Amino acid sequence: MKKGIYRRLALTGIRKNRQLYFPYLLSGTVMVMVFYILAFLAASDMVHNLRGGEAMTTLLICGEALIGVFSIPFLFYTSSALMRKRKKEFGLYNILGMNKGNILASLIWETLITYGIVMFTGICFGILFSKIGELGLVNIMEEEIGYRIYIEWKAVLTALVLYGGIYIFIFLNIALQIRQNNPIELLHSEAAGERPPKSRRVLAGAGLMLILGAYAWALRLENPRDAMVRLMVIAGVVVVGTYLLFIAGSVFLCGWLKKRKRYYYKTAHFVTVSSLSYRMKRNGASLASICILATVILVALVGTAGFYTGVDDIIGRHYPYDFGAVIEMDISDQEEISRTYKTELEAALKDTNAAVSKTIALYEVGLDAPIENGVLDLSVDIYKNAPEEGNAAEWNRYLENYICVRVISLEDYNQLCHTSEELGENEVFLAGGKRSGKAKSIRNWDGSEYTVKKTVKQMPALSAFELYGSYSDMMMDYMVLVVPDMNRFWDSFDAAAWSTKNQVLCFWEYGVRLAEERERQLVIGDACEERIRELSEEENAPGYTWYTKAEKWAKMKSLAGGVLFLALVISTVFVFVATLIMYYKQISEGYEDQRQFSVMRKIGMTKREIRRSINSQMLTVFGLPLLMAGIHLTFALPGIYQVLKASILDNKPLLIRTAAVSFLLFAVAYALVYLITTRTYFKIVNRK
């Protein structure tokens, strides 16, 4: 053939099919761009040097790998949607005298041109937006920003190799399809219908049962320890159930609607149901994919946005004071040790000229205990019948009936909560804890009995359990036990002897609220921590834990901001993917329906009736995935809440508000896609 003919044929094919090729090139460009941006941020020294930068770098590397892997099926899907339309063209070439070798030579040039355009535009936009992404990430994490622009060549090379391999496999897949089909099959491939699956009721019922079972399981998630693992299993069941329900359920629905004569024999509904029936398997699979993508986007946004917006709530709940110290000690030495540490800390505050607005100092005891038959039993032997050490899963199951109990005096409770509660000699009351209302009496370590006077919801402002080291398992329910007199309650308690039965830890807690800026709080906190360290360097000194609220806030904000940024990037890509899946689905179907609508116009169907029919079809196609994604999200919220609770965010109203806002924003974006696709589809089917 004449020199350069294949290159010209390739360019002509791209230009003539620009309505399909532009989204295909755009999808490749976006994937390369996002991959480069994540690879750039993962290698960025600025990101690595942030507070929590190491964790952020790891997250970005995971995101980079996710985009790279996800690019393979997505680009294969967009190429197959494009080639479904092109097969008719290739069949015509074959009939006119071009052999399959000539067609493949033209396709090689198309692949090379496509790869060149995608890589050039993707990397250029990646370089442009990588700095914007870095600035956005650093701004979310509320750190100082640098403005130096540079190219990460390692990321460029990785993108070239990865996407070069993907486009080679895409070409091989297309070549295989062309070699396996004869010219007539290629010519009529666009008009090929589909046979419905036989066992549609069984498959639809199975899909529905799987989804309902997964929903019921999700609603019963109450243990944060196992929430993540179980949520992954539930997600897998929901994915399988969704595909079965959409693929087989759409077949069953179309058959049922055809039997409803008042509904079916209307202009708009007749065309819609007939069109769905014609492509029921393909419709079901693509609609299920869109539904799953929408659900993933919504769950990611809700979880990360809830985490980010809840940082202040997390810090406020777990670190109630601007500076706090927790000193572990023996019960018999608590008066002497607490006096020594209090004196030294007050001296450190004075030396730093700290503006102190409030201080608290109290003595408390922590232990694990079960509630059995209405009795909170502090005398139980926790190690009796316990699983072997190191078996975390067995210990988690074993401790499901146990509660973390913090014992404080009535005087300290009234001081912290600004109340005036009263107790008799053998009375106690409980604060907080979901299961605290089940306890009617208390059995102390020595077997003595106390009556629970009442249960209250108001919790005192105490530091979080995980500060204590031994109480790092924040996923257990916990409560505060208020006793009339701590000395009498723990009279003659032998901690050394009792440690073989249970872990009873005695603490002195000191908290300070400062009328200072965050930078000053860090300086004051460092000075106080240095004084505590000096005291604890003595021989046989007690263990200690300390925190500065400003530092905890900065680290938590950095982590939450980084996770939110990554989720926004991934969600944006997934929104784009869902949009293109829907676009290709409807546009390819528009070309297929062009002849049918032409016939309908000839027999008297007006443009207005055609538009009503298209709107009905589009609403069905677009509405079902969004509706199902909203239902999936609703039943996923309990699991998301438990996972976030395990990450020390316990604020269900905040999570519900975040879910509502996320769904609303996604629905608005989804509606815009609906309007654009409907308009394009209408133009295609009305062409003469």
As beta bridge partners, residue 505 has 366
- Mean pLDDT per 10-residue section of the chain, whose length is 688 residues: 68 74 81 84 70 64 76 76 67 63 78 88 85 68 58 85 88 76 54 50 80 84 66 81 78 69 65 61 69 81 79 81 84 76 87 88 86 85 71 68 86 90 88 76 86 87 59 62 87 68 80 87 87 73 78 78 76 74 69 69 70 71 82 85 68 79 83 78 70
φ and ψ at 455, to 5 degrees? Answer: -120, 130
Please tell me the distance from the alpha carbon of residue 548 to that of residue 434, in angstroms, as a whole number.
29
The confidence score (pLDDT) of residue 472 equals 39
Q: Which residues contact 603 (CB under 8 A, 6 or more apart)?
A: none
φ and ψ at 377, to 5 degrees? Answer: -100, 105
Please tell me the distance from the alpha carbon of residue 531 to that of residue 350, in angstroms, as a whole number.
12
The confidence score (pLDDT) of residue 372 equals 83
The confidence score (pLDDT) of residue 10 equals 74
Please tell me the distance from the alpha carbon of residue 249 to that of residue 290, in angstroms, as a whole number.
16
The confidence score (pLDDT) of residue 120 equals 92
Quick count: other Cβ atoms within 10 Å of Cβ 676? 14
The confidence score (pLDDT) of residue 470 equals 41
As beta bridge partners, residue 329 has 506
> How far are the Cα atoms of 9, 35, 164, 569, 655 from residue 66, in angstroms, in the given order?
36, 9, 17, 12, 26
Please tell me the distance from the alpha carbon of residue 405 to that of residue 436, in angstroms, as a whole number.
10
pTM: 0.65
pLDDT in tens, 39-83: 887 777 766 666 555 666 776 777 777 778 777 877 877 777 677
The confidence score (pLDDT) of residue 390 equals 61
Please tell me the distance from the alpha carbon of residue 582 to that of residue 625, in angstroms, as a whole number.
11
Q: For residue 320, what is the enclosing H or E element? A: none
Q: What is the DSSP letter of 58?
A: H
Please tell me the distance from the alpha carbon of residue 74 to that of residue 35, in angstroms, as a whole number.
14
φ and ψ at 41, to 5 degrees? Answer: -70, -35
Q: Which long-range contacts (CB under 8 A, 24 or more apart) does 133-138 make?
A: 133/37, 133/40, 133/41, 133/565, 133/569, 134/40, 134/41, 134/44, 134/46, 134/47, 136/565, 137/41, 137/47, 137/56, 137/561, 137/562, 137/565, 138/46, 138/47, 138/50
The confidence score (pLDDT) of residue 545 equals 81
What is the 3-state secondary structure of 365-403?
EEEEEEEECCEEECCCCCCCCCCCCCCHHHHHHHHHHEE
Burial class of residue 342 (count of CB atoms within 10 Å of its CB; 0-12, 13-18, 19+): middle
Please tell me the distance from the alpha carbon of residue 628 to that of residue 640, in angstroms, as a whole number.
18
The confidence score (pLDDT) of residue 473 equals 44
Please tell me the distance from the alpha carbon of residue 103 to that of residue 269, in angstroms, as a whole number.
42
Burial class of residue 322 (count of CB atoms within 10 Å of its CB; 0-12, 13-18, 19+): buried
Q: Percent of the chain at pLDDT above 70?
A: 71
As beta bridge partners, residue 483 has 409
Q: Which residues contact 206 (CB under 8 A, 6 or more apart)?
A: 241, 244
